[in-house]
Amino acid sequence: MSVRLTPYLVLPGTASEAIQFYEKALDAKVLFKQTFGEMPENPEFPLADEQKGLVGHAMLQVGESQMMFSDTFPGQPVQQGDQVTICITTKDASLSKQYFDGLKEGGTVILDMHEAFFSPAYGQVKDKFGVTFQLFTEGETMM
């Protein structure tokens, strides 16, 4: 069984700046970077032109570890304490769901488990201790 825990930093419009900072400060390498404008459009959440350049998702390699980043989705504020979440990555959707169900006991579902364009099973939950987890399943989606 392969499971990874990855720090995920959600920033208020400064993710690109943070990525550049960590590239220099930690000798990090950008593995992936995608803006909101490069993602599939969602008519329910239209983006202004100035918002399309914000980071929708990025991954850096720091030594043997990885860090993930995004800017907050336009219009959704980040609560203090939510700037860093823990992303649990698996290759098994049923295992992701198991972890999600366990973490939501006494907690709050932020985004229910669902198939997304980037993951066959993805969800977000804040556990009963106030720690936010993202459950990400690697693999091809049906979308």
Q: Would you state the CATH architecture of domain 86-143?
A: 2-Layer Sandwich (3.30)
Domain with CATH 3.30.720.110 in the chain: 86-143
pLDDT in tens, 82-129: 788 999 999 999 999 999 999 999 999 999 999 999 999 999 999 987
Assigned fold of 7-78: 3.30.720
DSSP annotation of 22: H
| Euclidean distance between CA atoms 83 and 134, whole angstroms | 13
Q: Record the pTM.
A: 0.73
pLDDT of 141 higher than 70? no
CA 133 to chain centre: 9
Domain with CATH 3.30.720.100 in the chain: 7-78
What's the Cα-to-Cα distance from 58 to each of 21, 41, 97, 107, rounded to whole Å?
14, 18, 23, 27
